[in-house]
Amino acid sequence: MTADFPTYPDLTGKVALITGIGQVGLPNSKTWGNGAATARVLSYNGVKIYGCDLHLKAAEYTQQRLLKDTPQAVVDVVTTDVTNTADVSKFVEAALTKHGRIDVLINNVGMTTPGDPGTMEEAAWLKQIDLNLHSVFRLPQMAYASAKAAVIQFTKAAGCMYASKGIRLNAVVPGLMFTPLVETLGASDKEEDREVFRKITEHNVPMGVMGESIDVANAAVFLCSNAAKYMTAHALVVDGGITAATGTGG
């Protein structure tokens, strides 16, 4: 364990539900996906992890790494399709059956498809909306006020709605992160994958480097802890300054 891991004693014994806990990448890669890294920091802080992924082997790989890192950790993983309401319901019910409660919810699933409004097929667009946005709605099962502002607006609207009940909702907005998926794109035999890799890595980040999954994880765990007890309906940008420099994002 390294000094990069902050400690939050108030998190000990809590239960975290995490989607997208698995990761794809090169064999024996030492990098971590955002969901896996968040689970890593949470488990280090004594949080019981109940995670899901569409691919069970990917989730089990994360589980093995977590237990190797923190042998006393409590980590369960299952297969779940977050675009399927029945699957999501089973996932939540299984976590409640196992632990009796859920204290933290990490919505981590996401993907992007290359293309623009002029070339992207409608099916590809709808698939992204279903995975990236609708999955965020399915897990907490709340109504929300905006159809276009997606996850950030959902977080702000729901955060205000539930603040009086002691429920905090915040979002982490990552910038350019060197994850296993990005690493895989750079090593791909396909030119289109390498082109995506070049577009991701050639942005001029003011801090001069891409971020790491641990940067996202540290931000997420901070928001889960009592150190952020007066923060809700907030989008925490973790991007090395690129949003401020380009005027885009967050």
Task: Give pLDDT tens digits for 23-70.
Answer: 877 667 788 999 999 999 999 999 999 999 999 999 999 999 999 999
Residue whose structure tokens are 């699933």: 109
pLDDT at 75: 99
C-alpha–C-alpha distance, residues 248 and 242, integer Å: 8
Residue whose structure tokens are 């090395």: 240
Which CATH code of 3.10.310.10, 3.40.50.850, 3.40.50.920, 3.40.50.720 fits the domain covering 11-240?
3.40.50.720
pLDDT at 29: 75
DSSP letter string, 32-101: --HHHHHHHHHHHTTPEEEEEESSHHHHHHHHHHHHHH-TT--EEEEE--TT-HHHHHHHHHHHHHHHS-
Chain-wide mean pLDDT for the chain?
84
Q: What is the mean pLDDT of residues 102-111?
A: 85
88 near 114, Cβ under 8 Å? no
Q: What is the mean pLDDT of residues 228-250?
A: 88
Residue 22's alpha-carbon distances to 33, 143, 192, 209, in angstroms, are 8, 28, 24, 25
Burial of 51 (0-12, 13-18, 19+ CB in 10 A): buried
pLDDT tens track for 139-197? 664 333 333 346 788 889 889 999 999 999 999 989 889 888 888 888 888 888 888 78
1 pLDDT more than 50: no
Residue whose structure tokens are 């691919």: 55
pLDDT at 145: 32
C-alpha–C-alpha distance, residues 248 and 175, integer Å: 11
pLDDT tens track for 222-236? 999 999 999 999 999
CA 10, 14, 40, 215 torsion-angle sign: negative
205 pLDDT more than 60: yes
113 pLDDT more than 60: no
Catalytic residue among 8, 50, 61, 144: 144
Looking at the chain, list the stretches that DSSP marks H as alpha helix, in order from N- to C-terminal side: 34-44, 56-69, 85-99, 122-129, 135-138, 150-162, 180-186, 191-201, 213-224, 242-246
38 near 6, Cβ under 8 Å? no
134 pLDDT more than 80: no
C-alpha–C-alpha distance, residues 62 and 179, integer Å: 14
The residue ranges of every structural domain in the chain are: 11-240
118 φψ region: left (φ > 0), alpha (ψ -120 to 50), beta (else): alpha
pLDDT at 190: 87
Q: Is 162 a catalytic residue?
A: no
